[in-house]
Amino acid sequence: MVKVIPIDTFKSFDLHLPNGDPTGILSIPHAGTEIPEDMAPFLINDEWALNQDVDWRVDELVDIDYLKSLGIAVIKANIHRVAIDINRPEERTVFCWKKNTHGLDLLNEEPDELQRKLFIEKYHKTYFDALADLISQSVHKSRKVVPVIDLHSMPSRPTEYHLQMNPQQKMERPGICLSDLEGKSCIPEYIELLEKEFTERGLDPAINDPYLGGYVTQFVDKFNANVVQIEINRDVYMDEKVREIRPEAFESLKANLMETLERQYKLFCP
């Protein structure tokens, strides 16, 4: 469901903090389904088209309270990616998606430059200011490298849009894509452990296939951190055609994902 929220009550992201300084971070930038009232007039009124590329219920695939008990901070965007795409740089974040990945038009009109700058300040920059603060708090506490995961989902097959972006990609996608900017955003052991854990759980991971990592990964890479983007094949846990969760598959994936994240954070947290 797409929700239009009054500006005075809208929160572009939720921040879930452990007791004390965090020792690791989980970012969830594309699961939001809310649109602030000042951005809604620019978008069409078609919920199905707007929600086509949402990371559907990815935030529910993790137990946030349990992660907090491990010392992990979770930052989750509420803002819909068709309004502000958090995983894009500032110059591309506002109404980045003129069409969704299936080619359906999403915009009624474009904002002017002043409106665009205001949207960036209110809804994009605040996410990355918070993320930088979390990394700073973790580094200040330990003086060591901070483990970060950026969690997403992906369609099971590339659309024409995806094939235009990467014509060489396979039509059958892996169960999990692990991305580290082709070896730049973390030490090898960090991504290798994720690959091993997901392989043992039968989730068919691939590294940097079909994605290399987005803006969140690039941003975190500037800090003293290990960061990997995780993309989960939506077919693993949902029926993509009707956009509904398959309950047993969802719960199985959640258990496997949480076991993997717990092991990852326990081994790499300072």
Confidence (pTM): 0.95
- Which 3 state secondary structure label does DSSP give 126? helix
The answer to whether 72 and 24 have CB atoms below 8 angstroms apart is yes
Tokens 């369609």 -> residue: 155
Q: How many domains does the chain have?
A: 1
Determine the Cα–Cα distance for residues 186 and 34; give it in Å rounded to an integer: 32
52-77 as b/e: b if 16+ CB within 10 A: bbbbbbbbebbbbeebbebbbbbbbb
Q: What is the pLDDT of residue 137?
A: 86
194-218 as b/e: b if 16+ CB within 10 A: beebbeebebebbbbbbbbbbbbbb
Q: How many CB atoms lie within 10 A of CB 115?
A: 14
Q: Which tens digit of pLDDT belongs to each residue from 166-214?
A: 777 777 899 999 999 999 999 999 999 999 999 999 999 999 999 999 9
Q: Which residues contact 96 (CB under 8 A, 6 or more apart)?
A: 81, 85, 88
CA dihedral 115, 119, 121, 124 (to 10 degrees): -150
Q: Are strands 238-239 and 244-245 parallel, antiparallel or unpaired?
A: antiparallel
Q: Are strands 146-154 and 34-36 parallel, antiparallel or unpaired?
A: unpaired
- Which 3 state secondary structure label does DSSP give 45? coil
Query: Domain range for residue 24?
Result: 3-268
Torsion 37-41-47-53 (CA) sign: negative
- Select from 135, 31, 49, 9 the least CA-distant residue to 85: 31
Determine the Cα–Cα distance for residues 180 and 182; give it in Å rounded to an integer: 5
Determine the Cα–Cα distance for residues 183 and 193; give it in Å rounded to an integer: 14
pLDDT band at 40 (very low <50, low <70, confident <90, very high): very high
Q: Which tens digit of pLDDT belongs to each residue from 212-269?
A: 999 999 999 999 999 999 999 999 999 999 999 999 999 999 999 999 999 999 999 8
Question: What CATH code is carried by the domain that includes residue 172?
Answer: 3.40.630.40
Q: Which tens digit of pLDDT belongs to each residue from 131-179?
A: 999 999 886 555 579 999 999 999 998 777 766 777 777 778 999 999 9
- Predicted confidence (pLDDT) at residue 114 exceeds the cutoff of 80: yes
Q: Which tens digit of pLDDT belongs to each residue from 43-91?
A: 999 999 999 999 999 999 999 999 999 999 999 999 999 999 999 999 9
Backbone angles phi, psi at 73, to 5 degrees: -90, 135
